[in-house]
Amino acid sequence: MKITLHGASGGEVTGSAYLIQTDQANVLIDCGLFQGANKLENYNRLPRRGPLQQLDSVVLTHAHLDHTGRLPLLTRFGYAGPIYATPATIDLTDLILRDSARLQLEDAKRQARTRTGQGKPPVEPLYTARHIEQLRPLFRNMKYNHPTPVATGISVRAVEAGHVLGSASLEVTVEEKGVRKVIVFSGDIGPSGVPLHADPTPFKHADVVFMESTYGDRDHPSLNETAIEAREAVRETVEQGGRVLVPVFAIGRTQLLLYLLAGAFKRKTLTPFPIFVDSPMAIEATQIYRKHKELFDDEAVGMFESGELSRNLRTVKACPKPGDSRAIAAMKGPLMVLAGAGMCTGGRIMHHLINHLPDPTTLVLMVGYQSRGSIGRAIVDGARSVRIFGKPVPVRAKSHTFSGLSGHAGQKDLLAWIGSVAPSKPRIFLTHGEDMQRTTLRGLILKRFGLTAQMPEHLETIEI
In DSSP terms, which residues pair with 442 in a beta bridge? none
Q: Rg of the chain's alpha carbons, rounded to an integer?
A: 23
Taking CB under 5 A as the rule, does residue 212 contact Zn ion? no
CB atoms within 10 A of CB 272: 16
DSSP 154: E
Please identify, among the stretches 26-34, 37-45, 151-159, 181-189, the one whose residues bind Zn ion according to the rule CB under 5 A: 181-189
Is the previous residue joined to 72 through a cis bond, with omega within 30 degrees of 0?
no
Q: At what angle do helices 349-356 and 322-330 cross, to 10 degrees?
A: 20
Please identify, among the stretches 41-49, 92-100, 182-190, 242-250, the one whose residues bind Zn ion according to the rule CB under 5 A: 182-190
Distance of CA 255 to the CA centre of its chain: 13
Least CB distance to Zn ion at residue 230 (A): 23
Q: Which is nearer to Zn ion, 64 or 351 (CB)?
A: 64
DSSP 453: -
Q: At what angle do helices 411-421 and 435-449 cross, to 10 degrees?
A: 50
Q: At what angle do helices 253-266 and 280-291 cross, to 10 degrees?
A: 70
* Binder among 3, 16, 19, 64 for Zn ion (CB under 5 A): 64
Taking CB under 5 A as the rule, does residue 188 contact Zn ion? yes
Nearest of 193, 188, 151 to residue 172 by alpha carbon: 151
Please identify, among the stretches 63-71, 226-234, 279-287, 337-345, the one whose residues bind Zn ion according to the rule CB under 5 A: 63-71
Tell which positions 10-29 bind Zn ion, by CB under 5 A. none
Least CB distance to Zn ion at residue 189 (A): 9
Taking CB under 5 A as the rule, does residue 197 contact Zn ion? no
Nearest of 348, 342, 345, 346 to residue 368 by alpha carbon: 342
CA distances, 181 to each of 170, 425, 456 (Å): 13, 13, 20
Q: Which is nearer to Zn ion, 64 or 220 (CB)?
A: 64
Q: Which is nearer to Zn ion, 96 or 258 (CB)?
A: 96
Least CB distance to Zn ion at residue 13 (A): 10
Q: Which is nearer to Zn ion, 64 or 131 (CB)?
A: 64
Q: Which is nearer to Zn ion, 65 or 388 (CB)?
A: 65
Q: Which is nearer to Zn ion, 61 or 439 (CB)?
A: 61
In DSSP terms, which residues pair with 70 in a beta bridge? none
Q: Which is nearer to Zn ion, 16 or 26 (CB)?
A: 16
Strand, helix or coil at 53?
helix
Least CB distance to Zn ion at residue 62 (A): 6
Please identify, among the stretches 48-56, 144-152, 180-188, 416-424, the one whose residues bind Zn ion according to the rule CB under 5 A: 180-188
Q: Which is nearer to Zn ion, 153 or 162 (CB)?
A: 162
Least CB distance to Zn ion at residue 294 (A): 21
Task: Measure the CA–CA gap between 449 and 347, rounded to whole angstroms.
Answer: 46
Least CB distance to Zn ion at residue 146 (A): 23
Please identify, among the stretches 64-72, 135-143, 335-343, 351-359, the one whose residues bind Zn ion according to the rule CB under 5 A: 64-72
Residues near Zn ion (CB under 5 A) are: 64, 188
